[in-house]
Amino acid sequence: MKNKAQIFNKLLKLTLDYKFAMLTATLMAFLAVGSGIGLMMTSSFIIASAALQTPIFKLQVAIVGVRFFGIARGIFRYLERYFSHNITFKLLAKFRIWFFQSLEPLIPSKKFDLTSGDLLSRATEDVESLEHFYVRVISPPLVFLGISLLMFILLGIFDIRYSFIFSILFVGSGIGIPILTLILSRKIGIELVNLKAIIEETTVDYFQGIKELLVYDLYENWKKEILSLQNQILALESKMNKIQSLNEILAGLFMNLTVAVLLFVAIPDVNTGKLNGIYLSVITIGIMASFEIISQMPLAFQYLSKSFESAKRLYDILELPYAEPKKAVSPNIINNNFYNLKVHNLNFSYDGIRNTLSNINFELKEREKLAIVGTSGAGKSTLANILAGLLPPDSGEILIGNTSYYDLAPEQIRQIISLVPQKVHLFAGTIRENLLFAKPDATEGEILEALQMSQLQSFIERLPKKLDTYIAELGNNLSGGEIKRIGIARALLRNTPIIIFDEVTSHLDPFTESAILDSILKISKEKSIIYITHRLTRMDIFNHIIVIQNGQIVEQGKHSELIKHGFYYSKLFYSFAKRLE
């Protein structure tokens, strides 16, 4: 997204739901600053009058005014804070939900290759910096306009010349100082947002690969890199602080300049009797109080460039091309009880240049066991992701029963097909929580059965806290095989009519592998199974085997038939058998 007006409009649109609350908060802010001006003007009137020994009864209205403005200022400030904080938190929640909702359909996108650190910084830092959009960016300029008008009217009561002199200097400083700030801080703001993103991305990336850093003695390099980034951020933040100090100096300078110019014009009016001398102090103090809002204006502009940069980074992702999520055309087919899977002329490419899968055709009948084999990089996992509705095919058709995938929403597909991916992801939490993910209302009996089937029962029994054992992030305190088996148990709990197992036995010893295959045999009495593997053991248990090479099916049939043919499959099989010898 290049156009700043477009970004501003989009941000504004997201805040429109709270327009009444925002207007109320802005009105309260205006009334708080206005009451401050009123308080200062009435109290200076009383002090100046007292110096001239004015009788007390003549000051009655002013005394009431001081009380009123004094109390009102506190109340309005409280209400302004209450409403604006309320809006800020609601906006933050709204920005977060908007970002995650927009992100969701992007995940299966082929072009989605951002690192998790980059995404993290966009989802946290950038979304959070948008929270200032209302409080710092929208509200102060509106209050500034209101105060300009108020002071124009108040000074006009004395002399319209005062109004114009004030307006020129007040509006000039209210616009000039922030523009200067914007010019000075624009690049720094953008650099800061980007550097913070880089430091977050580097930290996450390096934390995930900390073992490699240690093994290759790169830990010191990493420390140096992070320190250098941190120093760059500190240097930029120090520049930002200097600009902010400059703003404060300039705001003070302009305030005093406005007072001096007005005194220069008003003092002769006192001499000629056009203006009561008491009002000289009232005007002076009133002007000083009105400059309170000027000090907030540069911040508005500073945050504006930050908000723009953050919004741009968010929109950059959300405008990536992705497959439009399909609306379900077919009614719920979960009760159809007819789950034959047919794949017809399926093609898929990640980059639009090289075909990862070409012309894939096969059929999986209900309660059949299909094995997909092939060398590394042949396209097996890609096919699994397409079948699980995680990637949209470029062309061709997949049917469940008689219903095409094109007529099903991805959620409907996943009610029928579950996938144990090659890299099982475990979330930080207990084993139970990680299992219940698949079926939140699963009974203890169902959990136990899933654990037995996935050969996890004895492992869980040995844990002091059993199912309530805490799993570290990414399952870091578990072995590769244990992670895989939790993935299998999770899919079994889900209890869909078709289950895809992608390389689930790759981390297992031959005994556990065999036991898992026994379990798969058992569950295949009720379910259809797709078993992706490059470990060609017990292949005779499968009804059908398809062999993929470079994204194409080069052979298919039963194990005995394929061995008899003596082509690619038999070569794969014998070379694997030789490795086992």
- Among residues 382 and 454, whose Cβ is nearest to ligand ATP? 382
Cβ at position 572, least distance to ligand ATP in Å: 12
Minimal distance, residue 503 CB to ligand ATP, in Å? 6
Measured from the CB of residue 323, what is the shortest distance to ligand ATP in angstroms? 14
Q: Which is nearer to ligand ATP, 109 or 519 (CB)?
A: 109
**Half-sphere exposure (CA, 13 Å, Cβ side) for 170?**
27
Give Cα separations from 191 to 187, 298, 299, 345, 498 (angstroms): 6, 18, 17, 49, 50
Cβ closest to ligand ATP, residue 380 vs residue 559: 380
CB of 302 or CB of 382, closer to ligand ATP: 382
Tokens of 560: 């005995």
Q: Which is nearer to ligand ATP, 193 or 532 (CB)?
A: 532
146 vs 374, which CB is nearer to ligand ATP? 374
**Closer residue to ligand ATP (CB): 367 or 535:** 535
Q: Which CB sits closer to ligand ATP, 144 or 501?
A: 501
Query: Residue 541 CB, nearest distance to ligand ATP (Å)?
Result: 20
Q: How far is the CB of 532 from ligand ATP (least distance, A)?
A: 7
CA dist., res. 297 & res. 136, Å (int): 8
Helix (H), strand (E) at residue 222: helix 219-271
Long-range contacts of 12-21 (CB under 8 A, 24+ apart): 12/138, 14/91, 14/94, 14/95, 14/98, 15/91, 15/133, 15/134, 15/138, 17/94, 18/87, 18/90, 18/91, 18/134, 21/83, 21/86, 21/87, 21/90
Closest CB 356 distance from ligand ATP, rounded Å: 4
CA angle, residues 84, 86, 92, in degrees to nearest 5: 100
Between 391 and 478, whose beta carbon lies closer to ligand ATP? 391
Please report how close the Cβ of residue 424 comes to ligand ATP at its closest, in angstroms. Answer: 14
Task: Return d(Cα 291, Cα 252) in angstroms, integer.
Answer: 8
Q: Are 495 and 455 in contact (CB under 8 A)?
A: no
Q: What is the DSSP string of 318-355?
A: HTS--PPPPPP-S---TTS----EEEEEEEEESSSSSE
| In the block, residue with structure tokens 């200062």 | 40
Least separation in angstroms between CB 378 and ligand ATP = 4
CB of 16 to ligand ATP, least distance (A): 37
User: Residue 472 Cβ, how far from ligand ATP at the closest point, in Å?
Assistant: 25
Please state, in angstroms and rounded to a whole number, the distance separating the CA atoms of residues 61 and 63: 5
Please, what is the angle between helix 60-103 and helix 19-51, to 10°? Answer: 160
Phi and psi dihedrals of 295, rounded to 5? -65, -20
Enumerate the β-bridge partners of residue 417: 498
**Which residues, including other chains, have CB under 8 Å from residue 151's CB and lie 6 or more apart?**
37, 163, 166, 167, 170, 286, 287, 290
- Closer residue to ligand ATP in complex, CB, 203/552: 552
Nearer to ligand ATP, 15 or 382 (CB): 382
Q: How far is the CB of 393 from ligand ATP (least distance, A)?
A: 13
Query: Which one-letter amino acid corresponds to residue 99?
Result: F
Shortest Å distance, C-beta 379 to ligand ATP:
4
Nearer to ligand ATP, 239 or 534 (CB): 534
> Would you say 376 or 458 has its CB closer to ligand ATP?
376
Of 351 and 444, the one with the shorter C-beta distance to ligand ATP is 351
* Residues contributing to the site for ligand ATP (CB under 6 A): 350, 356, 374, 376-382, 422, 534
Residue type, 284: T
- The C-alpha angle with vertex 350 and arms to 345 and 353, in degrees rounded to 5, equals 85
**Nearest approach, Cβ of residue 380 and ligand ATP (Å):** 4
How many beta carbons lie within 10 A of that of residue 83, not counting itself?
21
> In the complex, what is the shortest distance from the CB of residue 478 to ligand ATP, in angstroms, rounded to a whole number?
21
Short-list 130, 126, 120, 127, CA closest to 200? 120
Q: Which amino acid, one-letter code, is at 440?
A: P
How many CB atoms within 10 Å of residue 115? 14
Please give the Cα distance from 536 to 170 (Å, whole number): 81
Listed residue (201, 194, 181) closest to 309, CA to CA: 194
Using DSSP's 3-state secondary structure scheme, residue 514 falls into helix
